[in-house]
Structure 1
Amino acid sequence: MLTAGIDLSAEDANTAVAWIRWTGTTAVVEELVVGADDDELLRAASTVDKLGIDCPLGWPEPFVEFIVAHHRGDLTPPTEPVGRDWRRSLAWRHTDLVTRAVTGSRPPLSVAADRIAHTAMRCAGLLARLAAAGQPVDRSGCGTVVEVYPAASLNQWDLPNQRYKGRRNTGALNELMDRLTAATPWLQFGEFESVCRHSDHAVDAVVAALTARAAAIGHATRPGPTDLATALTEGWIALPTAPLTGLVTADAEG
């Protein structure tokens, strides 16, 4: 099995993609690109068995309805004060709230009300190009593409998951890599370990590829019957449900 993970940013310079080849009880980081353009990302999507993208695949349904109604000039006046709770009901997707409940941490960035919206716009364009090429994306995670959230995956695997990003946090990034490599002796980083120790984008891409593997073998959350309709439009964050060692157990799909 070949999985890939994309740490997506609005710009190429901060976008990374990692490929991991799974061979029974071992895995190898086969390729890692920091500064990936759209063609590189589309190559990953078309060559792997499962691709994890660290980016919202959709917007909150109430937010979309709100924007469309406002644009048309027929917005129904709110029945409650336009305060924090009302705004939050528009800002977060269902999967964001589920992720917060499962991990016990703060929710992911709001795709409706934060700068990650710029990244989501790029993602939407990529997904449209995939669909035009004959590879439509199921935003609920079925099919090749699945939405992931590296910080939440790290949390689920009991690894450091905060304050490792940016030049000021290289010490924390190296601590994360120490913990990650210790927890995955079966994962061969090779020449790319040094890249990961210098780039949090590279690390997130690797974690995204690990989470893609978890989703591919049934070791990650999936939307239930009551969540599916919303997940198909808003997206669904796959959270690991088993230890890292479960990714290479003998009964896992190779």
Structure 2
Amino acid sequence: MLIAGVDLAAEPKGTALAVLELTRGRALLADLQLGVADEAIVAAATGVTKIGIDCALGWPVEFVNFVNLQAEISTGSPQFDGGIDWRRKLAYRETDRRVRQVTGRWPLSVSTDRLGMTAMRATGLLSKMAHRGIPIDRSGEGKVVEIYPAASMRIWGLKADGYRNSVEVRSKLLDELLTAAPWLDLQSNTEMMIESCDAFDAVIAGLATRAAALGHYEMPEPDLLDQARIEGWVALPNCSLDALVDSDQNLIAPQNRRS
């Protein structure tokens, strides 16, 4: 099975793509790229079982409704509350609330943070993929799924605090990851993952996408499914790292650790 993980930024600079090849008892990092343009991501999506994107794939329904109606405010109807509770409904999606419930932390708001620029790019990507015949379902049931690497690592018990801003933290985190997942063969990409937080996130996104491909993730309840298909839904893994490979097989311990 081929799985792709994307750490998406508003521009190719800052965007990373990882492709993992999963066989019995082993996950091989077959490709890891930095500075990735839309065309390369769409091409990867056509050749993998599932592709996970680290970015909000939609906006809160409440926010979309607000944008559609706010032009009519001069007429006095509709009336907007303007209070903090109302604003939070516009700022966060249902999946963001689930992330906070599971991890104890709010993700960035696609409505009010700079993440919105990246989400606009993600919308363009989904459009291009659909044009190529790739099924798009923002709830995660199609080939494309929304991934949150930092939350995934917390669920797996990895100490990820501060990893995006520190080479030293990423180095320790990578050792922790390889100890927890001895079946993960990074080939010659360990230094790239240490030097680039984008590359690191793309690989973690690939692992979380594998969990989603196996159905091992927090799915939206039936009454939230239609909303998730509009807003997007973060596929939080609900399995261990070892569940990503067939633990009944002999694990291959690649020589990818650093002395």
TM-score range (shorter-chain normalised) is over 0.9
Q: For residue 37 of structure 1, what is the amino acid of its counterpart?
A: A
Give the structure 1 partner of residue 51 of structure 2.
51
Equivalent residues in 2 for 1:70-219, closer than 5 Å: 70-71=70-71, 76-78=78-80, 80=81, 82-104=82-104, 106-166=105-165, 169-219=166-216
User: In structure 2, what is the Cα distance between the partners aligned to 1:251 and 1:224?
Assistant: 32
Given that 2:25 and 2:246 are in contact with CA atoms closer than 8 Å, whether structure 1 keeps it comes out as: yes
User: In structure 2, what is the Cα distance between the partners aligned to 1:92 and 1:109?
Assistant: 8
Equivalent residues in 2 for 1:35-46, closer than 5 Å: 35-46=35-46
Given that 2:72 and 2:78 are in contact with CA atoms closer than 8 Å, whether structure 1 keeps it comes out as: no
Deviation at 1:195, TM superposition (A): 0.7
Runs ≥4 residues deviating over 2 A: 71-75, 249-252
User: In structure 1, what is the Cα distance between the partners aligned to 2:72 and 2:160?
Assistant: 42
State the Cα RMSD in Å.
Answer: 1.5
Aligned residues: 247
Q: TM-score, normalised by structure 2?
A: 0.92
Give the structure 2 partner of residue 223 of structure 1.
220
Q: TM-score, normalised by structure 1?
A: 0.94
Given that 2:51 and 2:144 are in contact with CA atoms closer than 8 Å, whether structure 1 keeps it comes out as: yes
User: In structure 1, what is the Cα distance between the partners aligned to 2:45 and 2:109?
Assistant: 25
Name structure 1 gaps, 5 residues minimum: none
Name structure 2 gaps, 5 residues minimum: 250-259
- Indicate the SS of the match to 2:159: coil
Q: For residue 195 of structure 2, what is the amino acid of its counterpart?
A: H
Q: For residue 93 of structure 1, what is the amino acid of its counterpart?
A: R
- Indicate the SS of the match to 2:203: helix
Residues 122 and 194 (structure 1 numbering): CA distance in 2 closer, same or farther, change over 3 Å?
Answer: same
Given that 2:3 and 2:206 are in contact with CA atoms closer than 8 Å, whether structure 1 keeps it comes out as: yes
Q: For residue 58 of structure 2, what is the amino acid of its counterpart?
A: G
- Indicate the SS of the match to 2:116: helix
Deviation at 1:77, TM superposition (A): 0.8
